[in-house]
Amino acid sequence: MSRSEIAAALSLSAAACFAAFVAAPAANAAAPEEARLAGCEFGSAAATYDYARFGEHARRMLDLSTGEFRAEFENFRANIQSSAEAAHIRAEANSADCRIVSGDDNRAEVDVDVVRTVTSDETDGLPQTSRMAMTVTVDNVDGRWLVSKVRKH
Protein backbone atom coordinates (compact mmCIF):
# COMPACT_ATOMS: atom_id res chain seq x y z
CA MET A 1 0.00 0.00 0.00
CA SER A 2 1.41 3.37 -0.97
CA ARG A 3 1.75 6.30 1.38
CA SER A 4 -1.12 8.11 -0.31
CA GLU A 5 -3.35 5.03 0.05
CA ILE A 6 -2.45 4.72 3.75
CA ALA A 7 -3.15 8.43 4.29
CA ALA A 8 -6.48 8.11 2.49
CA ALA A 9 -7.40 5.02 4.55
CA LEU A 10 -6.48 6.78 7.81
CA SER A 11 -8.49 9.84 6.81
CA LEU A 12 -11.48 7.68 5.94
CA SER A 13 -11.11 5.74 9.19
CA ALA A 14 -10.86 8.94 11.23
CA ALA A 15 -13.88 10.39 9.45
CA ALA A 16 -15.88 7.22 10.13
CA CYS A 17 -14.90 7.26 13.82
CA PHE A 18 -15.82 10.93 14.11
CA ALA A 19 -19.16 10.35 12.39
CA ALA A 20 -19.92 7.43 14.72
CA PHE A 21 -18.95 9.54 17.75
CA VAL A 22 -21.17 12.42 16.66
CA ALA A 23 -24.12 10.20 15.72
CA ALA A 24 -24.02 7.87 18.74
CA PRO A 25 -26.06 8.98 21.75
CA ALA A 26 -23.97 9.92 24.75
CA ALA A 27 -23.78 7.16 27.33
CA ASN A 28 -24.11 9.74 30.09
CA ALA A 29 -26.83 11.86 28.53
CA ALA A 30 -28.18 14.53 30.82
CA ALA A 31 -31.21 13.65 32.88
CA PRO A 32 -34.43 15.07 31.47
CA GLU A 33 -36.25 18.03 32.98
CA GLU A 34 -38.95 15.61 34.18
CA ALA A 35 -36.45 14.17 36.69
CA ARG A 36 -35.79 17.62 38.17
CA LEU A 37 -39.51 18.39 38.33
CA ALA A 38 -40.18 15.08 40.10
CA GLY A 39 -37.52 15.94 42.69
CA CYS A 40 -39.17 19.32 43.27
CA GLU A 41 -42.64 17.81 43.52
CA PHE A 42 -41.38 15.29 46.07
CA GLY A 43 -39.63 18.00 48.11
CA SER A 44 -42.77 20.13 48.24
CA ALA A 45 -44.89 17.10 49.20
CA ALA A 46 -42.43 16.03 51.91
CA ALA A 47 -42.48 19.53 53.39
CA THR A 48 -46.28 19.88 53.37
CA TYR A 49 -48.47 18.03 55.85
CA ASP A 50 -51.12 18.48 58.51
CA TYR A 51 -51.18 16.24 61.56
CA ALA A 52 -55.00 16.11 61.36
CA ARG A 53 -54.89 14.76 57.78
CA PHE A 54 -51.67 12.79 57.86
CA GLY A 55 -53.18 9.98 55.80
CA GLU A 56 -53.39 12.31 52.78
CA HIS A 57 -49.71 13.17 53.19
CA ALA A 58 -48.75 9.50 53.51
CA ARG A 59 -50.68 8.56 50.35
CA ARG A 60 -48.97 11.38 48.44
CA MET A 61 -45.52 10.32 49.64
CA LEU A 62 -46.17 6.71 48.61
CA ASP A 63 -47.46 7.85 45.22
CA LEU A 64 -44.24 9.79 44.57
CA SER A 65 -41.81 7.11 45.75
CA THR A 66 -40.39 3.67 45.02
CA GLY A 67 -37.69 1.33 46.25
CA GLU A 68 -35.67 2.00 49.37
CA PHE A 69 -37.36 5.26 50.35
CA ARG A 70 -40.86 3.86 49.90
CA ALA A 71 -40.02 0.84 52.08
CA GLU A 72 -38.51 3.06 54.80
CA PHE A 73 -41.50 5.41 54.74
CA GLU A 74 -43.93 2.49 55.04
CA ASN A 75 -41.91 1.09 57.98
CA PHE A 76 -41.78 4.37 59.90
CA ARG A 77 -45.12 5.86 58.86
CA ALA A 78 -46.86 5.11 62.17
CA ASN A 79 -44.02 6.69 64.19
CA ILE A 80 -43.93 9.76 61.96
CA GLN A 81 -47.69 10.14 62.18
CA SER A 82 -47.82 9.78 65.97
CA SER A 83 -45.02 12.34 66.38
CA ALA A 84 -46.82 14.80 64.08
CA GLU A 85 -50.11 14.28 65.95
CA ALA A 86 -48.52 14.59 69.40
CA ALA A 87 -46.87 17.91 68.52
CA HIS A 88 -49.80 19.18 66.38
CA ILE A 89 -47.47 19.85 63.44
CA ARG A 90 -48.69 21.61 60.34
CA ALA A 91 -46.19 22.43 57.61
CA GLU A 92 -46.48 24.01 54.20
CA ALA A 93 -43.87 24.36 51.47
CA ASN A 94 -43.44 27.96 50.38
CA SER A 95 -40.92 27.36 47.60
CA ALA A 96 -38.71 24.64 46.17
CA ASP A 97 -35.44 25.14 44.31
CA CYS A 98 -34.15 22.06 42.50
CA ARG A 99 -31.25 21.22 40.23
CA ILE A 100 -29.99 18.04 38.61
CA VAL A 101 -26.61 16.95 39.96
CA SER A 102 -26.16 14.00 37.61
CA GLY A 103 -28.16 11.44 35.74
CA ASP A 104 -29.46 9.97 32.53
CA ASP A 105 -32.77 8.77 31.09
CA ASN A 106 -33.18 6.12 33.83
CA ARG A 107 -31.92 7.66 37.08
CA ALA A 108 -30.93 11.08 38.36
CA GLU A 109 -29.62 12.78 41.48
CA VAL A 110 -31.48 16.01 42.26
CA ASP A 111 -30.57 18.59 44.91
CA VAL A 112 -33.76 19.93 46.51
CA ASP A 113 -34.01 22.98 48.77
CA VAL A 114 -37.43 23.72 50.23
CA VAL A 115 -38.45 26.72 52.31
CA ARG A 116 -41.44 25.93 54.46
CA THR A 117 -43.57 27.36 57.23
CA VAL A 118 -44.24 25.18 60.27
CA THR A 119 -46.62 25.61 63.19
CA SER A 120 -46.65 23.23 66.14
CA ASP A 121 -46.74 23.02 69.91
CA GLU A 122 -43.00 23.67 69.82
CA THR A 123 -43.56 27.00 68.02
CA ASP A 124 -46.48 27.87 70.35
CA GLY A 125 -48.71 27.73 67.29
CA LEU A 126 -46.84 30.61 65.67
CA PRO A 127 -45.57 30.18 62.11
CA GLN A 128 -41.86 29.54 61.84
CA THR A 129 -39.98 29.45 58.54
CA SER A 130 -37.33 26.80 58.03
CA ARG A 131 -35.34 25.22 55.24
CA MET A 132 -35.14 21.55 54.22
CA ALA A 133 -32.20 20.50 52.04
CA MET A 134 -31.82 17.05 50.54
CA THR A 135 -30.49 15.12 47.59
CA VAL A 136 -32.98 12.70 46.11
CA THR A 137 -32.42 9.85 43.70
CA VAL A 138 -35.23 9.63 41.17
CA ASP A 139 -35.78 6.55 39.02
CA ASN A 140 -37.72 6.33 35.78
CA VAL A 141 -40.30 3.63 36.52
CA ASP A 142 -42.54 2.92 33.54
CA GLY A 143 -42.31 6.54 32.40
CA ARG A 144 -42.82 8.09 35.86
CA TRP A 145 -39.97 9.63 37.82
CA LEU A 146 -40.20 8.37 41.42
CA VAL A 147 -37.96 9.03 44.41
CA SER A 148 -36.05 5.95 45.54
CA LYS A 149 -33.55 7.49 48.00
CA VAL A 150 -33.36 10.60 50.15
CA ARG A 151 -30.25 12.03 51.78
CA LYS A 152 -30.89 15.02 54.03
CA HIS A 153 -28.24 17.72 54.33
Torsion region of 137: left, alpha or beta (phi above 0 gives left; psi -120 to 50 gives alpha):
beta
Torsion region of 146: left, alpha or beta (phi above 0 gives left; psi -120 to 50 gives alpha):
beta
> Rounded to whole angstroms, how far apart are CA atoms 8 and 24?
24
Q: 3.30.460.10, 3.10.450.50, 2.40.50.140, 3.40.50.150: which CATH number matches 33-152?
A: 3.10.450.50
Selected residue with higher pLDDT from 17 and 65:
65
Mean predicted lDDT score pLDDT of the chain? 87
CB 60 within 8 A of CB 45: yes
For the segment 136-144, the average pLDDT, to the nearest whole number, is: 98
Radius of gyration of the chain (CA): 24
Chain segment 44-72, per-residue pLDDT in tens? 999 999 999 999 999 999 999 999 999 99
Domain boundaries, the chain: 33-152
Chain segment 90-119, per-residue pLDDT in tens? 999 999 999 999 999 999 999 999 999 999
What is the signed CA dihedral for 125, 151, 57, 54, rounded to 10 degrees?
-50
CB 85 within 8 A of CB 54: yes
> Rounded to whole angstroms, how far apart are CA atoms 55 and 14?
61
For the segment 73-101, the average pLDDT, to the nearest whole number, is: 98
Residue 25 has pLDDT above 70, yes or no: no
